[in-house]
Chains A and B, each alone.
Chain A
Amino acid sequence: MKKIIFAIMAIMLSASVFSHGPTPQKVQESVTIAASPEKTWDALKNYSEFKKIMKVRSFKDKKMKIKYELIKKDIPFSDYNAQIRVKKGANDNECIVQWTARFYRTYKLNPPIPEGQDDATAVAAVKEIVGPGLAEFKRFVESK
């Protein structure tokens, strides 16, 4: 009986884990910076840390938005595209920097998905770049 219950649970679990299709994953995080949008935008364009991991694909001054693609290798996600934009804050000396990343897991074929190549792994890996990246950029701008 225990075996049967275990089998049913295993089937249910595997169904919930493996049933996701080729769905693009999204990580979107923001940070509020105590500096004007213009000053922050200037800083972002020249900021070298982001350029170590991502290549600038294009940027729009009018919309204060930069598009990136990835240059970093050995990562558990694929087809990564991102944009970082500067938005107005609550007052003139405050702004919001938003980082949006779109990517897929590395394994795109039929389930079962090998360990470490699934959606959750991909999302966690991107979050590890985005969160600390934004925090570091905030320190950089506010210390200037």
Chain B
Amino acid sequence: MFIFYDMFKQKKLSTLNAKIYHLFILTFFLIILYFYFFYYFKDEHISKAYITNQGDNTVSIIDLNTLKKIKTLKVGIAPLGITILQNKKLVFVGNVGTDDISVINAVNDKLIKTIKLDTAPLSLASNPDETEVYITDWFKNNVLTISVEEMKVTRSLKVGKTPSGITFNKKHQYQIITNRDANTIEIYNKNYNLVKKLKTGDHPFGVYTIGDFAYTANVYDDSVSVINLIDWSIYDFLVGAHPYNILAHNKIAYITNTVDDTLTIYDLNTKKEIKTLDTGETPENLDLNVKLNLLVVTNWGSNSISIFDTQSLRLIKEIKTGAQSRSFGDFILQ
């Protein structure tokens, strides 16, 4: 640029050349501005894990690109369940000690709203449109609906005994819950009508669904039930001791075994275990970031999360969070 400037001075370029020169400088700055904003917004869009720490009433926020804890946020008492609205960038956290929901804005990680309930929220899920958040009410056998627009409870649905895990099947538009003490899974349609109720293994807690299948982690008989949502057939497979939650991706299932301190990785096609990995103490819940190939497990016992590489199936890092980390539900902002 300075060479051009010298040329401009020495050779006394014509007015036309001067205009070209100014245009050149302008273009140059525009390019710099473009890259500046590109990186600025790119940095804004980071994947984050939100960890509910039931023992100290906080949520730890972990940057999954740098694998560092970036913030600790105070919420209600005894936070447990969680769900994230990926497009609306809202995080819903259920506090079982104060019977309310803390809503976090995932853009600036600030608490924006507390929704009062008249019961303890156990687990949370949302519909794919992100207009509703569903909450299982373990004590009163209800599933509550929160309108995201109104930020209040708009509906209460009577369900089977001790509703525990909840999830939403996008393909079939089913709301699916586990009844822990009744050993059943219940499947509801969009109009809140019961479509099917099936027996699972003993003490089904965590539930996951994708495509034509639902999976339950059965705590007392160390198994997972696989439910076909079309022909309603069901089969079980054994995992480690006291499985708590399950997640499946590309026909690979990941299961946390709370008493073994392990993660079972199971091939749903060949119906064989691929590997068992060590986690922190009392691993409870898990979530995936498919783009980064990361699997995050919350460790209630060691107050931490274990981060695994889903390609190499190796532990990458264990990060300290808060007391009694749980995050029951989807907890990664993709």
The reply to whether B301 and A21 form a contact with Cβ atoms under 8 Å apart is no
State whether the Cβ of B28 lies closer than 8 Å to any Cβ in chain A: no
In the complex, which residue of chain B has the Cβ closest to the Cβ of A102?
B282
Known A-B contacts A67-B259, A83-B281; A23 and B242 likewise in contact (beta carbons under 8 Å) = no
The reply to whether A21 and B260 form a contact with Cβ atoms under 8 Å apart is no
The reply to whether B138 and A22 form a contact with Cβ atoms under 8 Å apart is yes
Stretch at the interface among B37-45, B57-65, B92-100: B92-100
A19 to B139, CA, bound (A): 11
Give chain B interface residues in 182-227, CB to chain A under 8 Å: none
B interface, how many residues as a size bin? Answer: 20 to 34
Contacts of B98 in A (CB 8 A): 19
Q: What is the CB-to-nearest-CB distance from A111 to chain B, in angstroms, rounded to a whole number?
A: 7
Contacts of B278 in A (CB 8 A): 63
Known A-B contacts A110-B139, A111-B139; A21 and B78 likewise in contact (beta carbons under 8 Å) = yes
The reply to whether A57 and B259 form a contact with Cβ atoms under 8 Å apart is yes
Interface centre among A20, A23, A57, A81 (most CB of B within 10 A): A23
The reply to whether B324 and A26 form a contact with Cβ atoms under 8 Å apart is yes
State whether the Cβ of B80 lies closer than 8 Å to any Cβ in chain A: yes
A21 to B324, CA, bound (A): 15
The reply to whether B259 and A21 form a contact with Cβ atoms under 8 Å apart is no
A22 to B162, CA, bound (A): 11
Q: Produce 1/0 per residue, A21-42, CB < 8 A to B.
A: 1111010000000000000000
State whether the Cβ of A121 lies closer than 8 Å to any Cβ in chain B: no
Residues of A within 8 Å of B, CB-based: how many? 18
Known A-B contacts A21-B96, A83-B281, A100-B281; A57 and B241 likewise in contact (beta carbons under 8 Å) = yes
A43 to B17, CA, bound (A): 89
State whether the Cβ of B90 lies closer than 8 Å to any Cβ in chain A: no
Q: What is the CB-to-nearest-CB distance from B241 to chain A, in angstroms, rounded to a whole number?
A: 7
A29 to B97, CA, bound (A): 24
Contacts of B103 in A (CB 8 A): none
Tally of A-B Cβ pairs under 8 angstroms: 54
State whether the Cβ of B169 lies closer than 8 Å to any Cβ in chain A: no
Contacts of B99 in A (CB 8 A): 19
State whether the Cβ of A143 lies closer than 8 Å to any Cβ in chain B: no
The reply to whether B120 and A102 form a contact with Cβ atoms under 8 Å apart is no
Q: What is the CB-to-nearest-CB distance from A84 to chain B, in angstroms, rounded to a whole number?
A: 12
The reply to whether B78 and A20 form a contact with Cβ atoms under 8 Å apart is yes
Query: Which of B97, B258, B281, B282 lies in contact with A20, CB distance below 8 A?
Result: B97
The reply to whether A21 and B138 form a contact with Cβ atoms under 8 Å apart is yes
The reply to whether B242 and A21 form a contact with Cβ atoms under 8 Å apart is no
Q: What is the CB-to-nearest-CB distance from B146 to chain A, in angstroms, rounded to a whole number?
A: 18
In the complex, which residue of chain B has the Cβ closest to the Cβ of A101?
B301
A47 to B241, CA, bound (A): 24
The reply to whether A21 and B281 form a contact with Cβ atoms under 8 Å apart is no
State whether the Cβ of A58 lies closer than 8 Å to any Cβ in chain B: yes
The reply to whether A19 and B282 form a contact with Cβ atoms under 8 Å apart is no
The reply to whether A21 and B241 form a contact with Cβ atoms under 8 Å apart is no
Contacts of A110 in B (CB 8 A): 139-140
The reply to whether A102 and B139 form a contact with Cβ atoms under 8 Å apart is no
Contacts of A67 in B (CB 8 A): 259-260
The reply to whether B140 and A23 form a contact with Cβ atoms under 8 Å apart is no
Q: What is the CB-to-nearest-CB distance from A78 to chain B, in angstroms, rounded to a whole number?
A: 13
Q: Produce 1/0 per residue, B69-106, CB < 8 A to A.
A: 00000000010100000000000000011110000000
The reply to whether B139 and A20 form a contact with Cβ atoms under 8 Å apart is no
Identify 17 residue pairs between A and B in the complex whose beta-carbon atoms are under 8 Å apart, listed by A's number.
A19-B99, A20-B96, A20-B97, A21-B96, A21-B120, A23-B80, A23-B97, A26-B300, A26-B301, A26-B324, A57-B241, A58-B260, A81-B259, A83-B281, A100-B301, A102-B300, A110-B139
Give the 4 A-B CB pairs with smallest separation, nearest first: A21-B96, A21-B120, A110-B139, A81-B259
Which residues of A approach B to under 8 Å, CB–CB? 19-24, 26, 57-58, 63, 67, 81, 83, 100, 102, 109-111
Which residues of B approach A to under 8 Å, CB–CB? 54-55, 78, 80, 96-99, 120, 122, 138-140, 241-242, 258-261, 278, 281-282, 300-301, 324
